[in-house]
């Protein structure tokens, strides 16, 4: 990395970012997960650290290089992430939930490997709901805390994302439509729409790092608004 002087406009800001997928164990050799690469969350954490923020990155398993100049908390399951995040939430000025958290997990993890000699019915996986971490954060949000969610949709992106914004008591939600070229999982670019209660910004196609900086600009703007009330 080249030595680039960054404006330290986020100095003194404590930011927690969650990134990557969760893994939900089925048996000792298998798990349920999703296609999240962690790239968007890592880009946000890295951009914020360069701007001087004190960053805590709560990361599912991604295989990405461990970024420097921040605290990294490794988690595997939705339950791990819930514990790591709720434990650290109170002291944070901003929280960005870029992670793709499982909505359902196997109700039990089989003690031994599930064998194919059983019946199909024996192999069925009973699921239970996970806790919604972002909804918990919204319900426990501090007066000056800025809370940002992400929303991944394949249809009705704006309506569904707005519903999440309201229901989870968020300040802003970054929405992307998986079916648009250049958006979503694994790629290095993103097409985001930043949605606030009375504002919507459609960002052009840009790298995840650029999108991260635009999002951070927006979060800093919201922080100033909240602190001047
Ligand atoms: N999220 C979370 N905990 C969960 C599920 C989701 O914190 N158990 C967060 C994600 O990190 C993301 C936001 O909620 O910031 C929206 O996730 P998304 O999957 O798009 O929406 P859901 O509310 O889970 O609804 P659905 O999957 O039905 O669209
Ligand atoms: Ca979900």
What is the CB neighbour count within 10 angstroms for residue 100? 23
pLDDT tens digits for range 192-211:
999 999 999 999 999 999 99
Rounded mean pLDDT, 133-153: 97
Q: Which residues of 188-211 are buried (b: 16+ CB within 10 A; e: fewer)?
A: ebbbbbbbbeeeeeebeebebbbb
Mean pLDDT, rounded, of the chain: 95
ipTM of this model? 0.99
pLDDT tens digits for range 3-50:
567 789 999 999 999 999 999 999 999 999 999 999 999 999 999 999
Residue 71 CA to residue 54 CA, distance in Å, equals: 8
Judged against a pLDDT cut of 50, whether residue 90 lies above it is answered with: yes
Contact 145, 219 (CB under 8 A): no
Relative to the alpha carbon of 36, which ligand is closest? 1
**Residue with token string 């000792």:** 28
Residue 35, pLDDT score: 95
The encoded tokens of residue 157 equal: 């992106």
Residue 152 CA to residue 178 CA, distance in Å, equals: 7
Adjacency order of strands within the sheet including 172-177? 71-74, 54-59, 14-19, 94-97, 146-153, 172-177, 193-196, 199-202
Alpha-helical segments (H) within the chain? 39-50, 78-88, 120-123, 133-139, 157-167, 208-227
Q: How confident is the model at residue 95 (pLDDT cuts 50, 70, 90)?
A: very high
Residue 44 CA to residue 55 CA, distance in Å, equals: 10
Q: How far, in Å, is the centroid of ligand 1 from the Cα of 30? A: 23
Residue 3, pLDDT score: 56
Residue 20 CA to residue 199 CA, distance in Å, equals: 27
pTM score: 0.96
Is 177 part of the annotated catalytic residue set?
Answer: no
Q: How far, in Å, is the centroid of ligand 1 from the Cα of 151? A: 7
What is the CB neighbour count within 10 angstroms for residue 124? 8
Residue 148 CA to residue 154 CA, distance in Å, equals: 20
Count Cα neighbours of 70 within 13 Å in the Cβ-side half-sphere. 31
Mutate to test the pocket of ligand 1, among 19, 98, 149 (most ligand atoms within 8 A of CB): 149
State yes or no: 168 annotated in a binding site.
Answer: yes
Residue 1, pLDDT score: 46
């Amino acid at each position: 990395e080249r030595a680039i002087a960054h404006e330290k406009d986020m100095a003194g800001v404590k930011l927690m970012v969650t990134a990557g997928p969760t893994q939900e164990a089925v048996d000792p050799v298998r798990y349920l997960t999703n296609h999240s690469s962690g790239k968007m969350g890592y880009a946000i954490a890295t951009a914020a650290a360069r701007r001087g923020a004190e960053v805590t990155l709560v990361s599912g398993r991604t295989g990405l290089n461990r970024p420097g100049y921040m605290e990294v908390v490794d988690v595997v399951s939705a339950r791990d992430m819930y514990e790591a995040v709720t434990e650290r939430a109170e002291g944070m000025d901003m929280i960005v939930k870029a992670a793709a958290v499982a909505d359902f997990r196997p109700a039990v993890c089989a003690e031994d490997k599930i064998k194919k000699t059983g019946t199909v019915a024996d192999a069925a996986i009973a699921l239970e709901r996970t806790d919604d971490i972002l909804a918990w954060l919204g319900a426990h949000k501090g007066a000056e805390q800025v809370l940002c969610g992400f929303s991944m949709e394949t249809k009705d992106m704006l309506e569904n994302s707005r519903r999440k914004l309201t229901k989870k008591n968020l300040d802003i939600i970054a929405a992307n439509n998986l079916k648009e070229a250049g958006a979503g999982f694994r790629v290095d670019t993103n097409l985001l729409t930043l949605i606030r209660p009375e504002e919507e910004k459609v960002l052009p196609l840009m790298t995840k790092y650029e999108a991260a900086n635009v999002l951070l600009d927006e979060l800093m703007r919201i922080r100033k608004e909240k602190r001047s009330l």
